[in-house]
Amino acid sequence: MDIQKLTVELQSGGITIPAYLAHPTAAQGLPLIVVIQEVFGVNAHIRDVTERLAGEGYIAIAPHIYHRQAPGFEVGYSRADLALGRDYKNGTQASELLQDIKGAIAYGRHHFGGSAAKVGCIGFCFGGHVAYLAATLPEIAATAAFYGAGISTFTPGGGPPTLSQTPQIQGTIHAFFGLQDPLIASAEIVQLEAALTQAGVDHCIYRYPQASHGFFCDRRDSRCLATGESFVSRPS
Q: Is the CB of residue 124 less than 8 Å from the CB of residue 217?
A: yes
Q: How confident is the model at residue 29 (pLDDT cuts 50, 70, 90)?
A: confident
Q: Is the CB of residue 120 less than 8 Å from the CB of residue 33?
A: yes
Contacts (Cβ under 8 Å, ≥6 apart) of 1: 24, 54, 55, 56, 57
Residue 157 confidence (pLDDT)? 97
Q: Is the CB of residue 182 less than 8 Å from the CB of residue 212?
A: yes
What does the alpha-carbon distance between residue 133 and residue 30 come to, in Å, rounded to a whole number? 24
Residue 197: which H helix or E strand, with range? Answer: helix 186-199
pLDDT in tens, 115-138: 657 899 999 999 999 999 999 999
147-186 residues labelled b (16+ CB within 10 A) or e (exposed)? bbbbbbebbbeeeeebbebbeebebbbbbbbbbbbeebee
The pTM is what? Answer: 0.92
| Radius of gyration for the chain, computed over Cα atoms and rounded to the nearest angstrom | 17
Is 213 annotated in the active site? yes
Is 125 annotated in the active site? yes
Active-site pick, 129, 181, 203, 217? 181
Residue 116 confidence (pLDDT)? 55
Query: Three-class SS of residue 123?
Result: strand
Residue 27 confidence (pLDDT)? 87
Q: Please classify residue 9 by burial: count the beta carbons closer than 10 Å to its beta carbon, then call 0-12 exposed, 13-18 middle and 19+ buried.
A: exposed
pLDDT in tens, 42-81: 999 999 999 999 999 999 999 999 999 999 999 999 999 9
User: How many other CB atoms sit within 10 Å of the CB of residue 26?
Assistant: 10
Q: Is the CB of residue 92 less than 8 Å from the CB of residue 65?
A: yes
pLDDT in tens, 134-193: 999 999 999 999 999 999 999 999 999 999 999 999 999 999 999 999 999 999 999 999
What does the alpha-carbon distance between residue 2 and residue 156 come to, in Å, rounded to a whole number? 37
Q: Has residue 234 got a pLDDT over 80?
A: no
Query: Three-class SS of residue 144?
Result: strand
Domain locations in the chain?
3-233
At residue 143, φ and ψ (nearest 5 deg) are -135, 140
Is 181 annotated in the active site? yes
Active-site pick, 64, 67, 203, 213? 213
Active-site pick, 64, 125, 129, 217? 125
Domain 3-233: which CATH number of 3.40.50.1820, 3.40.710.10, 2.60.370.10, 3.40.50.1970: 3.40.50.1820
74-112 residues labelled b (16+ CB within 10 A) or e (exposed)? bbebeeebbebbeebbeebebebbbbbbbbbbebbbebb
